[in-house]
């Protein structure tokens, strides 16, 4: 059972690392950001907390440090390209608004961890993942396009979170608190929303590919 648990833990690290790399790559190429702002703030807060403030032991500690580095890069795409995604906000307010979201995220994650997890990170991790899954769907709907997103991101995100759920279920030293209705709700909820995001992104991408391309105007038609 220990080997199975470790394999799922490594799968979590592998797939989520791939998702982060794709988010950074697509964001830089398309000059946008691919992770919803609130999710970026909660991710950055959680990974800082459990990489440096209350680090776990073993493989997960290394994974958290690596993820924190990738989250910093994703946060840079949010800062660099955020103004173009929020044209209704005055430009001078975008960076202070992003800073305010981050300032609220860290204490919120910390208090939730202390309240529900006795200072550990399982419930906050899966709770923020559930919110992130919903926010990815909301971002797809708001942008009405696949800009900043890809099926690779969606699939690796789904696989990474599914591996994380399975690693919890196969942990021979798992805390009895995590064998609860709340945790099963979070495991299933994340999977259902991630699968919905994959399907929705595929449908939007197919619609984009099949949309007719406007023909260029004839040269003579441009003349008065």
What would the pLDDT profile of 76-134 be if each residue is shown by its tens digit?
Answer: 999 999 888 888 888 888 899 999 999 999 999 999 999 988 888 899 999 999 999 99
DSSP code of 146? -
How deeply is 146 buried, as exposed, middle or buried, from its count of CB atoms within 10 A (0-12, 13-18, 19+)? buried
- Round the average pLDDT of the chain to a whole number and report it: 90
In this structure, what is the dihedral angle of CA atoms 219, 220, 222, 224, given to the nearest 10 degrees? Answer: 160
Q: Residue 137 and residue 194: Cα distance in Å, rounded?
A: 9
Top pLDDT among 86 and 15 is at 15
- For residue 224, pLDDT over 50 is answered with no
Top pLDDT among 215 and 26 is at 26
Q: Residue 106 and residue 109: Cα distance in Å, rounded?
A: 5
- For residue 5, pLDDT over 90 is answered with no
- Report the pLDDT averaged over residues 182-203: 97
């Amino acid at each position: 059972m220990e080997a199975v648990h470790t394999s799922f833990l490594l799968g979590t690290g592998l797939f989520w690392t791939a998702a982060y790399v794709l988010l950074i790559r697509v964001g830089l190429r398309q000059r946008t950001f691919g992770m919803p702002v609130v999710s970026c703030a909660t991710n950055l807060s959680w990974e800082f907390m459990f990489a440096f403030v209350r680090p776990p032991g073993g493989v997960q500690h290394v994974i958290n440090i690596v993820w924190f580095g990738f989250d910093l890069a994703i946060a840079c795409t949010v800062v660099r390209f955020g103004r173009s995604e929020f044209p209704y906000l005055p430009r001078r307010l975008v960076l202070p608004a992003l800073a305010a979201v981050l300032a609220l995220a860290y204490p919120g994650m910390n208090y939730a961890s202390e309240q529900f997890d006795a200072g550990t990170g399982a419930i906050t991790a899966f709770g923020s993942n559930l919110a992130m899954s919903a926010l990815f769907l909301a971002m797809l709907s708001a942008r009405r396009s696949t800009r900043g997103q890809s099926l690779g991101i969606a699939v690796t995100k789904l696989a990474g979170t599914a591996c994380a759920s399975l690693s919890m279920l196969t942990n021979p030293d798992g805390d009895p608190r995590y064998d609860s209705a709340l945790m099963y709700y979070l495991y299933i909820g994340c999977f259902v929303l991630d699968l919905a995001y994959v399907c929705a992104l595929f449908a939007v991408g197919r619609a984009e590919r099949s949309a007719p391309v406007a023909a260029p105007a004839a040269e003579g038609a441009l003349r008065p």
